Amino acid sequence: MSTYQQALDYIYSFVDQEKLAPDKYVPTRFDLENMKTLLSMVGDPHRRLRAVHVAGTKGKGSTCAMTASVLQAAGYQVGLFTQPHLHTFRERIRINDRLMTEEQMIAALNGLKPFIQQLPDPSTFEIMTALAFQYFAEQNVDLAVVETGLGGRLDTTNVIEPLVAVITSISHDHTYILGDTLEEIASEKAGIIKDGRPVVCSPQRAAPERVIANVCHEKRSPLTLVGRDWLWQPGEANMEGQSFEVRCGIPDPGGLIEDQRSRDFWIPLLGRYQLVNATTAIATIDQLCRQEIGISLEHAAEGLRRAKWPGRLEILAREPLLVMDGSHNVDSVHRLMRALREYLAFDDLILVVGFSLDKDITAMMRELTSYAKDVIVTQADHPRAGEPEVIVERTERSETSLTIVSNPASALWRALELADKEDLVCVIGSLHLVGDARAAWLEAQGQEFERDPAL
């Protein structure tokens, strides 16, 4: 491969679970043998990584971003592996906020290709995970923060032995693979827990928390519960971000906050759920401190202050307000609607929405139409994106105006035409939809950003 386009074409030429409809998933295909074999052939780069491993339904990307930002503020070279991306595949693999370059990706993929060809039925996820681990090892990162793609137990990333395993909020999503109950989903997420390694867990409902606690007991893994061992209190908030107070209830010395007094922090992310994610990141940093990784309170405060995570309650304009958010299940949609009313002042709400058809569209649209004056339904440029007509068919009758617009860019302009200066336009749905709409907005503003060519 000599061009970046050729590299992308090669990666996406394999089975890509992100792009398959639920009825095309093959649950028996999920195992770690290919991943282990591929990594073994290239020298097991994952074994050279000191990593934080993060699973969960909601909040895992934000928690990863904040954790990595704190480690970077402490002076470490930090690899960050997340998914999916907004505009370019290379967002998934970065070191200290620097995306893997096109040239680096081409070279790394050319090195992997002879080994990939020896695998039976390799997948896109396996290739991108091996690419990330090899790149981080070759660049000698001090620490890596790794987000699971799907589940945990059989996720391609679950070959690492992390310093800390983190499980964020669990709710119903990907039920066709992970299970129909919260207990089943929690069991899959808890698959990242390793024998004797500490675990940090965000607040959960009783059933998934019990599953996680049982797995920790079986594996003799110390469990830190946010909401029990770490407490937070909201502070002042504006459109730039929010402050909050954190208190550690762990009496053992050696952590980030040793005297059990409260400390104040600030994050440039909105939503009360982001305070939970930030506190989870702080609890994770505390566990790293207890393993003699040098991080001070000042590093933690600075890292949280610098954290970036686009496409998550991101404010792009003020008159009218323009917000984009990748909420795509019932729980996250509910949280977003509450956050918009709590953090922002506006008259009418105009939504641009699009979802994949495996989601609970009826419940999400019921929530959205109860708040919005107008809803414009569109379709992201992605194989799993649901047809707008089907989404409208699954929407219960209400007084909200429903309009179908064929593509996200046109839907965004239509929403902005409908909005007065005091209104709020919110693009909500998959990150693929947000990525399409965000790209259209940034291009219209003349802002430069990295974007992959159309596949």
DSSP string, 337-360: HHHHHHH---S-EEEEEE-BTTS-
Q: Do domains 4-306 and 314-444 have the same CATH topology?
A: no
Contact (CB, 8 A) for 79 and 98: no
Sequence-ordered list of residues with C-beta below 8 angstroms from that of 114, at least 6 positions apart, any chain: none
Spans of all domains in the chain:
4-306, 314-444
pLDDT digits (tens, 9 = 90+) for 159-180: 999 999 999 999 865 444 565 6
Q: Whose CA is closest to 307, among 384, 226, 241, 230?
A: 241
Spatial distance between the Cα atoms of 176 and 155, rounded to a whole number of angstroms: 15
Architecture of the domain delimited by 314-444: Alpha-Beta Complex (3.90)
Contact (CB, 8 A) for 305 and 278: no
Contact (CB, 8 A) for 232 and 244: yes
DSSP 3-state helix, strand, coil percentages of the chain (rounded to 5)? 40, 20, 40
Average pLDDT, the chain: 92
* Homologous superfamily of the 4-306 domain (CATH): Mur-like, catalytic domain (3.40.1190.10)
Give the mean pLDDT per block of 10 residues along the chain (455 residues). 94 69 50 94 97 95 98 98 95 97 97 95 94 98 95 93 97 59 92 98 95 98 96 96 93 77 94 96 97 96 97 96 92 92 96 91 94 95 88 93 95 98 96 95 94 77
Q: Whose CA is closest to 385, among 28, 147, 84?
A: 84
What DSSP state is assigned to residue 29? G
Q: What angle in degrees, to the nearest 10, is found between the helix axes of 4-11 and 124-138?
A: 130
pLDDT digits (tens, 9 = 90+) for 385-419: 889 999 999 999 999 999 999 999 999 999 999 99
Q: What is the edge-to-edge ordering of all strands in the sheet holding 241-248?
A: 230-238, 241-248, 262-267
